[in-house]
Chain A
Amino acid sequence: MTKLAQWLWGLALLGSAWAALTMGALGLELPFPCQEVLWPLPAYLLVSAGCYALGTVGYRVATFHDCEDAARELQSQILEARADLARRGLRF
């Protein structure tokens, strides 16, 4: 089974379980606070996943190791190459 099929299966199972519980199709009487928590659950999971993604991206941006020396060296090499090519007649 492909990954997509696995994901869709999992989503379908969890989604149907959630739907059955929120609509009371199983006939079990959940305490009212639990019902209140249950019906926004998909939205909650999506928002948490989004927050996790945003936080991870932000953290990796903040802790990314820049190599300032290599960057400067690269820039000077680019200028050198441009001068060389311009001398050989390539128009930029």
Chain B
Amino acid sequence: QATGTDQVVGFGLVAVSLIIFTYYTTWVILLPFIDSQHVIHKYFLPRAYAVLIPLATGLLLLLFVGKLCVHTLALGVHLPRSSLAPTLPGVFLFLLKGYKQKAL
């Protein structure tokens, strides 16, 4: 059995994804078939936002992922290295991989 916070966070994520999915499906798929005078249209933004908002969110997410990558890589650059010896196993495996590819 999963413990406390795990269940809260997990089912919270499920709930959020279901809410987003149903709202978005209603917006994109159902609304065009509903008479434009119906009151339900009041709860939804103009149709163009159905593409603009996900696009903007996607770009923001990419921005954050990119920043995280740069930050993580920059962490490793300034570490001083006393000798090349610890890197030798890695170099050896890399060369071995190259020879194996060539043999194929």
Mark A residues whose CB is within 8 Å of B.
Answer: 32-34, 36-37, 40-41, 43-44, 46-48, 51-52, 54-55, 57-66, 68
* B14 interface residue per 8 A CB criterion: yes
A60 to B33, CA, bound (A): 36
A63 to B9, CA, bound (A): 11
User: A33, B20: Cβ atoms under 8 Å?
Assistant: no
Most central of B24, B25, B28, B54 by chain A CB within 10 Å: B28
Closest Cβ neighbor of B2 among chain A residues: A64
Q: Taking the nearest CB of chain B, how far is it from the CB of A21, in angstroms?
A: 15
Closest Cβ neighbor of A66 among chain B residues: B3
**Which among B10, B32, B58 is the interface contact of A59 at CB below 8 angstroms?**
B10
Residues of B in contact (CB 8 Å), total 28
A44 to B11, CA, bound (A): 23
Instruction: Report, nearest first, the 5 A-B pairs whose CB atoms are least far apart.
Output: A62-B10, A58-B13, A36-B32, A55-B17, A61-B10
Q: Taking the nearest CB of chain A, how far is it from the CB of B45, in angstroms?
A: 12
A83 to B99, CA, bound (A): 44
B27-64 vs A: 1/0 string, CB under 8 Å? 01100110000000000000100110011001000000
Mark B residues whose CB is within 8 Å of A.
Answer: 1-3, 6-7, 9-14, 16-18, 20-21, 24-25, 28-29, 32-33, 47, 50-51, 54-55, 58
Q: Taking the nearest CB of chain A, how far is it from the CB of B52, in angstroms?
A: 9
Most central of A52, A54, A68 by chain B CB within 10 Å: A54
Closest Cβ neighbor of A62 among chain B residues: B10
A59 to B58, CA, bound (A): 23
Can you list 26 A-B pairs, Cβ within 8 angstroms, ordered by A?
A32-B32, A34-B32, A36-B47, A37-B32, A40-B51, A43-B51, A43-B54, A44-B24, A44-B25, A44-B28, A47-B24, A47-B54, A51-B17, A51-B21, A55-B14, A58-B13, A58-B17, A59-B11, A59-B13, A62-B2, A62-B6, A62-B13, A62-B14, A63-B2, A63-B10, A64-B6
